[in-house]
Chain A
Amino acid sequence: MRWLAYVRPGDWLVMAGGAALVGLTLPMLWQGGFAERAIIRQDGHVFAEFELGSRRDVAVPGPLGITLVAIESGRARVVADPGPRQYCVRQGWLARPGEIAICAPNRVSVQITGRTRTYDSLSY
């Protein structure tokens, strides 16, 4: 290998150190824990709570109509909502603990929780 000629002995050490550093920081990717449950709230009260295991669709009635929530293994999303701006639908899949989709007009929210509660909420 031509390129190997440019790597000096200490460089390997630095590379190994860098790799170790990357390895050490890896747990940060999961610092919020894994997504385990979805909590669906209606008008502030818990409407239903599901393990993010098997597929299921949930219809949540609100003042404007029905909000459709889909649960899958490891993730959940709002499929349809009668609200005018569709913010919660467009948020797509929620897969990290703390993520929440709020359909304010219909007063429905879907929140993901993990084992540990690190954040009150996360939104992008």
Chain B
Amino acid sequence: MTASVTELTVTAEDRRVAWLATAAVTLSLVDAAIPSPLPGVKPGLANIVTLVVLIRYGWATAVWVSGLRVLAGSLLLGYFLAPGFFLALTGTTLSLLTLGLARQLPGRWFGPVSLSILAAFAHIGGQLLLARLWLIPHNGVFLLTPVFAAAALVFGTINGLIAAKLLADTPAAEPAR
């Protein structure tokens, strides 16, 4: 076999991102399998991974993991470049930006639960805005805002609690697989 001309060196960080993104994608699939009464209302379990990554490895890694999750998740579920993909992308982008800002809050007072709730609201807010601007250019889109907001609050809190538990249960110096 001829030696490859280009050598891709895989760093420990790359492997970590790949593993974490895999976990996030798996949770996305679980998410998609859970029946939902309304499109747009779902637990967003993959955000647990995003939160843990954000708090343990920093914002840049969280962006990588989330980005890969949206891409791979949409490919696996078959909505890559469909409207749902752009909705997911917008929601994720906005919640990552929010997380980047919210991370600056004093950690003694604001834990993963706060981050999770804020990110959930940013997520649904971004999706509603994109839907209004692009998919359904009509204010009727906002009719169900209270339902979405309530779902964001409930699932945001639950995901935040799970993330907090995961962070507390695993020691900080987790080996990067």
Contacts and interface: CB of A to CB of B under 8 A. Distances in A.
Interface in A45-95: none
B89 interface: no
B2 to A, nearest CB: 54
B145 A8 contact: no
B146 A28 contact: yes
Interface in A1-44: 3, 6-11, 13-15, 18-19, 21-22, 25-26, 28-29, 31-32
Interface string B114-147: 1001100100000000000000000010111111
B149 interface: yes
Contacts of B105: 10
Contact of A25 (B118, B149, B161): B149
Contact of B165 (A6, A19, A29, A32): A6
Nearest to B149: A22
Interface residues of A, number: 22
B118 A14 contact: yes
B43 interface: no
A25 B106 CA distance: 29
B114 A14 contact: yes
A10 B110 CA distance: 5
A29 B109 CA distance: 34
* Interface of B: prevailing SS: helix
Given A8-B111, A28-B145, A19 B161 contact: no
B163 to A, nearest CB: 9
Contacts of A15: 113, 117, 153, 157
A119 B153 CA distance: 30
Contacts of A8: 108-111, 113-114
B150 interface: yes
Counting chain B CB atoms within 10 Å of each CB, which of A15, A22, A32, A122 scores highest? A22
B59 to A, nearest CB: 19
A20 to B, nearest CB: 10
Contacts of B153: 15, 18-19, 21-22
Contact of A6 (B106, B113, B144): B113
Interface in B21-58: none
A7 B140 CA distance: 36
Nearest to A4: B161
Interface of B: 105-106, 108-114, 117-118, 121, 140, 142-147, 149-150, 152-153, 156-157, 160-161, 164-165, 168
Given A10-B110, A10-B114, A15-B113, 7 more contacts: A6-B160, A8-B114, A14-B117, A22-B146, A26-B146, A28-B146, A119-B140
Interface of A: 3, 6-11, 13-15, 18-19, 21-22, 25-26, 28-29, 31-32, 119, 122
